[in-house]
Amino acid sequence: MNSFWNGKRRFVALLMFLAGVFVALRVPPVIPFIQLPGEKFPEGFNIPFTDIRMTNTFVAAVIVWILLLLFVVYIARRRPADGNEVPPGGFYNMFEALFEGLMNFVGGIAGGRHFRLIFNMFMTIFLVVLVANWMELVPGVDTIGFIHAHVKEKYDPVADEYKVVTTDGFEIYQGFLGISYVNGQCDWISPADEAAADEAALANAEVAAMAAQQTLIENEAYERYEAGHGDHGDEEHADDDHADEAGNDDHAENAGDTDAVAAARQEALDARSAEKQARRDRGCYTGVAISSWEDGYEPADKDKKKEPIPLHPDPRSEDAKRVPWVVLPFVRVASTDLNMTLTLGLISFFMIQYIGFKALGIGYLTKFFNFGTLFKSPLGGIDVAVGLLELIGDFAKILSFSFRLLGNIFAGSIVLFVMSFLVPILPWPFFMLEFGVGVIQALVFALLTAIFMNLATVSHHHDDDHDHAEDH
């Protein structure tokens, strides 16, 4: 361990750590828009020679196969020509040791004349799923992509027209070299919601002013009551002497009352202004819908025709403030798309059936449709029911394969999103966790395929035939 960190490696690790701290402090973390299906690329990015729009999970799957092809070429070039040649060492030796270990492991589970086919299937699925799972650990995956206005068109049957409807998203800002960045610190607030919040602040201010006015009225009534029932009968002449002074005091009290009501009203408005200022301090933009007390106009003067929401605004224009934005990643982990996991599940299912027919021929169907003992034994009905249950179980394996892998890797990606946002400097424990989860899920998927393939080669009557042979 000490020799590994000697020399340049320690400085490279330190430099990478400092670079991570700098980026975490200077660049707000990006929160991808989380959805189960793979995101479609913008128009013009179709699969070659088709009209099918590419998705970022499809791109990830293509990258997986390219990496595996390059890996096979590398192993083939480094492999010794014969047993007398010395192995090249390094990564090749590590992979060879892993390969032989997995071969011995699978051989102890699914040995026999069908071992080569079972192991080839096991190793292929293991490598494909492993590389696909580990892609979530690569920087840039799920975070670098197209800047995308998160709006959609919705048909309005009343107006007989399509309207642009906004959804959730974030604000954006222009960074280095004019590149647009999603500001994960600032949730986008629509102009309508901001205007509604301003109107609510005005309503709350009026309520506060009315409450203050009511409090003053009640206080004045209480003071008059106290003055009328006090012990002042022998001082009536003093009232005449100070009539003018009392009049001046009433004027001063009215002025004070007006100030108190205005202060209560202004306090409610200041709370809304402070809320908007807090967003400005975080780098969020406001002012899409300016409040009436900030620009000097009354709400009635604001009754103007609303401009339509842009469907494809320029991120560098003022229209960018009027729509929410999300990142449409160039690459998203293929294992988080049901299309990928379902495809692998179907491949495993068909390979299980293929090896079953190869080993047992047409007799393989008796595992599922065992009517031979229906009229020969009292337990014949049980054999039929067990066969049908096994048929249902075989089809259920498709769902089991698909959703187990999808659920674990999709949940792991969300964990990495959240922890990278909450702890952007030191999320390494969660990356190590997902590193292990990727290995375990790949091993479980491949191992279950190998076990089911081996079970498919064994007849239900194998044990009975074996016992019968021993009796003779």
Which domain-ending residue is among 279, 301, 329?
329
Instruction: Answer yes or no: do 24 and 136 share one domain.
Output: yes
Q: What is the pLDDT of residue 7?
A: 62
| DSSP per-residue codes, 121-169 | HHHHHHHHHHHHHHGGGSTTTTTSEEEEE-EEEEEETTTTEEEEEE-S-
Residues 6+ apart with CB under 8 A from 286: 189, 194, 276, 279, 280
- The domain in which residue 312 lies consists of 191-329
**Confidence class of residue 461 from pLDDT cuts 50, 70 and 90?**
low
| DSSP per-residue codes, 172-205 | EEE-GGG-EEEEEEEE---HHHHHHHHHHHHHHH
Total structural domains in the chain? 2
Instruction: Answer yes or no: do 336 and 291 share one domain.
Output: no
* Torsion angle of the four alpha carbons 150, 418, 344, 95, in this order, in degrees rounded to the nearest 10: 130
* Cα 92 to Cα 74, 87, 97, distances in angstroms: 9, 8, 9
CB of 416 within 8 A of CB of 434?
Answer: yes
Burial of residue 24 (CB within 10 Å: 0-12, 13-18, 19+) is middle
Instruction: Answer yes or no: do 293 and 362 share one domain.
Output: no
Tokens of 18: 């400092």
**Confidence class of residue 111 from pLDDT cuts 50, 70 and 90?**
confident
pLDDT in tens, 424-449: 666 778 888 999 999 999 999 999 99
CA atoms within a 13 Å half-sphere pointing along the CA-CB vector of 302: 16
Residue 249 has pLDDT above 70, yes or no: no
Instruction: Answer yes or no: do 30 and 138 share one domain.
Output: yes
Tokens of 374: 């229906």
pLDDT in tens, 194-214: 777 877 888 888 888 888 778
Tokens of 4: 């590994």
pLDDT in tens, 31-69: 677 788 888 888 888 888 888 889 999 999 999 999 999
Instruction: Answer yes or no: do 335 and 258 share one domain.
Output: no
pTM: 0.73
Instruction: Answer yes or no: do 287 and 307 share one domain.
Output: yes
**Confidence class of residue 323 from pLDDT cuts 50, 70 and 90?**
confident
Residue type (1 letter), 366? T
Q: Which helix (H) or strand (E) holds 328?
A: strand 325-329
- Of 273 and 255, the structure prediction assigns the larger pLDDT to 273
Q: What is the pLDDT of residue 448?
A: 94
pLDDT in tens, 261-318: 777 778 878 887 888 777 777 777 655 444 444 444 444 444 444 566 777 788 888 7
What gap in Å lies between CA 11 and CA 19, rounded to an integer? 12
Instruction: Answer yes or no: do 325 and 346 share one domain.
Output: no
Instruction: Answer yes or no: do 343 and 322 share one domain.
Output: no
Classify each residue of 123-156 as buried b or exposed e, where b means 16 or more C-beta atoms within 10 Å of its C-beta.
Answer: bebbbbbbbbbbbbeeeebbbebeebbbbeeeee
Mean pLDDT, range 359-387, rounded to an integer = 76
SS3 384: helix
Mean pLDDT, range 441-460, rounded to an integer = 90
Instruction: Answer yes or no: do 138 and 209 share one domain.
Output: no
Q: Which helix (H) or strand (E) holds 102?
A: helix 91-107
Residues 6+ apart with CB under 8 A from 355: 114, 117, 118, 453, 456, 457
Mean pLDDT, range 111-122, rounded to an integer = 90
Which domain-ending residue is among 283, 306, 329?
329
**Confidence class of residue 393 from pLDDT cuts 50, 70 and 90?**
confident
What gap in Å lies between CA 292 and CA 411, rounded to an integer? 45
* Residue 180, beta-bridge partner list: 174
In a domain, 152, yes or no: no
User: What is the helix, strand, coil percentage profile of the chain, to 5?
Assistant: 65, 10, 30
The listed range with the strongest mean pLDDT (236-240, 263-267, 364-368, 444-448) is 444-448
Residue 468 has pLDDT above 80, yes or no: no
Tokens of 238: 């003093």
Q: What share of the chain in percent tops pLDDT 70?
A: 78
**Of 33, 60, 240, 25, nearest in space to 143 by CA:** 33
Classify each residue of 270-307 as buried b or exposed e, where b means 16 or more C-beta atoms within 10 Å of its C-beta.
Answer: eebeeebeebeeeebbbebbbbbbeeeeeeeeeeeeee
Q: What is the pLDDT of residue 34?
A: 79
Instruction: Answer yes or no: do 462 and 344 share one domain.
Output: yes
pLDDT in tens, 85-108: 666 777 888 888 899 999 999 988
**Of 280, 296, 298, nearest in space to 288 by CA:** 280
Q: What is the mean pLDDT of the chain?
A: 78
In a domain, 365, yes or no: yes
- Of 418 and 9, the structure prediction assigns the larger pLDDT to 418
In a domain, 156, yes or no: no
Q: What is the pLDDT of residue 85?
A: 67
Residue type (1 letter), 139? P
